[in-house]
Chain A
C-alpha cells in the first residue's frame, strides 16, 4: 500500500510540473512573433532534447524492456530501429524539409506537388498514424495504473486522455520546448537511476540472482505463484511437463483442480486462475522462446522470425520521418543546418537512453518469470524495483519509474494530439481556434475509444505498426518529393493509397486474428518489408506515366529545398494560410485591429 502512495504522488508531481511549465511557458510566448522568434533562439541541443522527450513513448520506456524479457536478444532490434530512424531522417529529410517551411506533412505535400487532392489523402493518413500511435500510449497508461494501484485498465487510459486534452486545450504543452526538454531528462533519470541501483543490487546479491533452471534451459518459478488470465485469451507453450492447479477453462473445456500439462500449446480463457508450485517449469506465451538457450541467442526462431526482423528494420528505419509529431518539432529549428544538427544530437540522446531498458529487461528475466505466463511483459520495468528491493528503497525507485512512465505517456500523447488536432482543424474544419478545440476533443475521444476496443498488445509491437504505416506512406512521399523532380500528385496519391491501404488492411486482419485464435501469419503483424517497396514503386511508375502533371515550378521548389541557408532562399510559408489554428486566429485579430485603426 505504501508503494502505491509513493508511486501515485510521484505521478501527480509529474502531472503538476507538466501543467505548471506548460502554463508558464504558454503565458510567456503569447504572440505570433514571440512564438516564432523565441523558437529561432533555441539551441540545437535543447531542441534535440525536446524532440527526444516527445519521441520516447511508452513503447520505449516500458515496451523495450518487456520485449527483451520475453523475446530476448531479437527484441534489441526495436531500440536500434527507433534510433536508426533518426539517421534516415537526418540523411534524407531534415534540412530540406525545414527549408520547405511546411508546418505539417499535408502542408509539405501540397506545397511540393501543387494539388489539394494529395493534401486530403495526406491528412487522412496523418490522422491514422497519429491515432494508431496514441492507442498503445493510452493502453500502457491503463496497464501502469493497474500495476500500481489495481484499478481497472480503462481508468488509466481515461485519466491520461483527460489530462492531455485539458492541457492541450489550455494551450499548455503547445510547442513549449522547455516542457519537452524537461521530459527527456526526467525520463532519462527515471530509467537510469533504477537501472544503476538494481544492477548493483543484482551484483551484490549472494546468489547473483541465479534462478533455478532445468537442464534444457526452461526457467522455474523461484516461489509458488498464482496467476490470473486477464481480459484476453492466452496461448501458453509448455516445453517441460508440469502439474498445476487450474480454475477456469483450458482449450474451451472447464477445469477445476490439479491438471497435468505435457509438451504442447494450451489455450486459457479470460478469468482462469493458475496456481504454480515453487520449482515448477514456467510455461511461456506462444511465439516467444521457451528456454534460456534460445533466449540468449539471436535468430533462433527460424525463417519467419528472420523476415519479421527485416520487416521491423525497414519499418523503423524509414517510418520515423513520417511520424506527424516528429515533423512539427523540426520546424522549431531556425534553418536547415540547425535541423541537421538537431537530428544528429537526437541520435546521441536516444542512444544514451536505450542502453537502460535493455539492462532492465535482462534483469527482469531473472526476477519476474510470472510475466512470461500472463503476457503483461510491459509491466516489467514497473514491477522490477519492488520485487528486487522489497523495502522503502524499492518503493521509492518504483515511484521514480512510475513517474517516468507517466511522463512518457503525457509527452508523446500531447505531441500526437496537438499535431493530429492541428491537421484536422486546418484541413477538415475551417481552422478557427474553436475548431482546434473541437478537433482536440474529437481526437482524444477516438483514441480512447480505440484503446478500449482493441485488444492490448505489447506497446512496442503496436507502435511498430504505426511506423510501418508511416514508412509505407510518407517516407516515399518525402524522399521522392525532396530528391526527385519527376514526382506528380497522381503518383503520390496512388502510392499513399496503395501503401497505406495495404498496411491498414494487414492491421485489421491481425486484430481479427488475435480475437479468433491467432491464425494470421507473421507478415500481417509487420508488413513493411512488402508494403514499403510497393509504395515506392507505385509512386515512381505512376509519376512517370503522368509526367505532364508535374508542377511547372518544380525547379524553383527544389532550389528552395536544397539551396544552402546563407543564400537566403528559406521562406516560411504564408502563416495566414498555413499557420496553426491559434496563430491564424491571432493574425486575423491583429488584422482587424490594424484595419480599424487605418479607418
Chain B
C-alpha cells in the first residue's frame, strides 16, 4: 500500500460509494474487446445500465415497477384482509359464539391462521421477485 493510497478515504464518501463504475467505463471497454461475442453483448447492456442511457434507464424503471407492483399488491391484500377482521367482528358480534371443538372460531382465526397465511404471502412474493430478477438478468445477459 503506497502513501498515495492512504489519502484515498478522505474523498467524499458518497463519491466513493457510487464510485467505481463512474470512474472505470474505459477500462471495461478494453475487456469487452477481448471477450466473446455473446458475453460482449451482455457487458454492453450492463454498461448501458450503469451509464444510464435511455435504454438502460427504461430497463431499470420497468424492473422497479414490476417489483413494486408485486410488493404493493400483496401488502395491500394482507392489510385489507387484516383490517376487515376487526370491523367484521365488531359489526357481527354473533361470530364470537361460533365454535369448533370447543374453541371459538375467532380464537382460531386470530391465534393460528394468520401465521401460515403470512408465510404463504411471503413465499409467493419471494418467488415473484426472484422470477422478475431472473427475467431481467436473462434479458440483459442474452
Inter-chain contacts of B85 with A (CB < 8 A): 298
The main secondary structure of chain A at its interface with chain B is helix
Cα A86 to Cα B114 in complex, Å, equals 13
Which A42-101 residues sit within 8 Å CB-CB of chain B? 73, 76-77, 80, 83-84, 86-88, 90-92, 95, 101
Q: Let me know if B3 and A595 touch, CB within 8 A.
A: yes
Q: Which of A91, A306, A317, A352 has the largest count of B CB atoms less than 10 A from its CB?
A: A91
Cα A507 to Cα B66 in complex, Å, equals 39
Q: Let me know if B1 and A344 touch, CB within 8 A.
A: no
Given A562-B60, A574-B16, A595-B6, residue A87 in contact with residue B86 (CB < 8 A): no
CB distance from A456 to the nearest CB of B (A): 27
Inter-chain contacts of A310 with B (CB < 8 A): 83, 86
Tell me if A313 is interfacial: C-beta within 8 Å of chain B.
yes
Inter-chain contacts of B64 with A (CB < 8 A): 483, 558, 562
Among A126-134, A335-343, A435-443, the stretch that binds chain B is A335-343
Q: Let me know if B13 and A317 touch, CB within 8 A.
A: no
Partner of A90, one of B67, B72, B87, B122: B122
Report B119-142 CB contacts with A as 1/0, cut-off 8 Å. Answer: 101110110011001101100110
Report B72-95 CB contacts with A as 1/0, cut-off 8 Å. Answer: 101100110011011101100101
Inter-chain contacts of B49 with A (CB < 8 A): 559, 563, 567
Cα A92 to Cα B122 in complex, Å, equals 11
Partner of A298, one of B2, B74, B106: B106
Q: Which residue of B lies closest to A317 (CB)?
A: B79
Cα A26 to Cα B114 in complex, Å, equals 38
Inter-chain contacts of B134 with A (CB < 8 A): 564
Partner of B52, one of A92, A111, A559, A567: A559
CB distance from A568 to the nearest CB of B (A): 8
Given A313-B82, A317-B79, A591-B1, residue A297 in contact with residue B137 (CB < 8 A): no
Partner of A337, one of B116, B125, B130: B130
Cα A309 to Cα B21 in complex, Å, equals 49
Q: Let me know if B93 and A299 touch, CB within 8 A.
A: yes
Q: Which residue of B lies closest to A296 (CB)?
A: B104
Tell me if B32 is interfacial: C-beta within 8 Å of chain A.
no
Inter-chain contacts of A344 with B (CB < 8 A): 119, 122-123, 126
What interface size band does chain A fall in?
Answer: 35 or more
Tell me if A210 is interfacial: C-beta within 8 Å of chain B.
no
Tell me if B14 is interfacial: C-beta within 8 Å of chain A.
yes
Cα A339 to Cα B103 in complex, Å, equals 38
Tell me if A516 is interfacial: C-beta within 8 Å of chain B.
no
Inter-chain contacts of A95 with B (CB < 8 A): 129
CB distance from A62 to the nearest CB of B (A): 18
Q: Which residue of A lies closest to B93 (CB)?
A: A297
Partner of A111, one of B1, B14, B107: B14
Inter-chain contacts of B1 with A (CB < 8 A): 591, 594-595, 597-598
Cα A299 to Cα B92 in complex, Å, equals 10
CB distance from B101 to the nearest CB of A (A): 13
Among A219-227, A365-373, A549-557, the stretch that binds chain B is A549-557
The main secondary structure of chain B at its interface with chain A is helix
Q: Which residue of B lies closest to A307 (CB)?
A: B86
Inter-chain contacts of B126 with A (CB < 8 A): 90, 340-341, 344
Tell me if A9 is interfacial: C-beta within 8 Å of chain B.
no
Q: Let me know if A91 and B96 touch, CB within 8 A.
A: no
Inter-chain contacts of A598 with B (CB < 8 A): 1-3
Tell me if A206 is interfacial: C-beta within 8 Å of chain B.
no
Inter-chain contacts of A86 with B (CB < 8 A): 118, 122
Partner of A299, one of B22, B78, B86, B141: B86
Cα A576 to Cα B141 in complex, Å, equals 34
Inter-chain contacts of B137 with A (CB < 8 A): 564, 566-567
Q: Let me know if B20 and A571 touch, CB within 8 A.
A: yes
CB distance from A239 to the nearest CB of B (A): 19
Report B1-25 CB contacts with A as 1/0, cut-off 8 Å. Answer: 1110010010001101110111000
CB distance from B49 to the nearest CB of A (A): 6
Tell me if B55 is interfacial: C-beta within 8 Å of chain A.
no
Tell me if A155 is interfacial: C-beta within 8 Å of chain B.
no
Cα A567 to Cα B21 in complex, Å, equals 13
Q: Let me know if B9 and A574 touch, CB within 8 A.
A: yes
Q: Let me know if A80 and B16 touch, CB within 8 A.
A: no
CB distance from B50 to the nearest CB of A (A): 7
Q: Let me know if A73 and B82 touch, CB within 8 A.
A: no
Q: Let me know if A84 and B17 touch, CB within 8 A.
A: no
Cα A565 to Cα B63 in complex, Å, equals 13
Tell me if A577 is interfacial: C-beta within 8 Å of chain B.
yes
Tell me if A429 is interfacial: C-beta within 8 Å of chain B.
no
Inter-chain contacts of B118 with A (CB < 8 A): 83-84, 86-87, 347, 351
Q: Which residue of A lies closest to B94 (CB)?
A: A297
Tell me if A526 is interfacial: C-beta within 8 Å of chain B.
no
Partner of B17, one of A111, A343, A352: A111
Inter-chain contacts of A558 with B (CB < 8 A): 60, 64
Inter-chain contacts of B60 with A (CB < 8 A): 555, 558-559, 562-563
Q: Let me know if B13 and A574 touch, CB within 8 A.
A: yes
CB distance from A432 to the nearest CB of B (A): 15
CB distance from A526 to the nearest CB of B (A): 13
CB distance from A303 to the nearest CB of B (A): 8
Cα A597 to Cα B95 in complex, Å, equals 77
Q: Let me know if A577 and B16 touch, CB within 8 A.
A: yes
Cα A578 to Cα B107 in complex, Å, equals 47
CB distance from B33 to the nearest CB of A (A): 20
Tell me if A31 is interfacial: C-beta within 8 Å of chain B.
no
Pairs across A and B, CB under 8 Å, 30 listed: A76-B111, A77-B110, A80-B110, A87-B75, A90-B122, A91-B70, A91-B74, A95-B129, A296-B107, A297-B93, A298-B110, A299-B89, A299-B93, A306-B86, A309-B86, A310-B83, A340-B126, A556-B22, A558-B64, A559-B50, A562-B63, A563-B49, A564-B134, A564-B136, A567-B49, A573-B17, A574-B9, A577-B16, A594-B1, A595-B1
Give me 12 other A-B pairs in contact (C-beta within 8 A), A351-B116, A567-B49, A574-B9 excluded. Answer: A83-B115, A84-B82, A87-B122, A90-B122, A296-B104, A297-B89, A300-B93, A300-B96, A309-B86, A340-B130, A562-B67, A576-B9
A residues with CB within 8 A of B: 73, 76-77, 80, 83-84, 86-88, 90-92, 95, 101, 110-111, 114, 296-300, 303, 306, 309-310, 313, 317, 337, 340-341, 343-344, 347-348, 350-352, 354-355, 358, 483, 553, 555-559, 562-567, 569, 571, 573-574, 576-578, 591, 594-595, 597-599
B residues with CB within 8 A of A: 1-3, 6, 9, 13-14, 16-18, 20-22, 46, 49-50, 52, 56-57, 60, 63-64, 67-68, 70-72, 74-75, 78-79, 82-83, 85-87, 89-90, 93, 95-97, 104, 106-107, 110-112, 114-116, 118-119, 121-123, 125-126, 129-130, 133-134, 136-137, 140-141
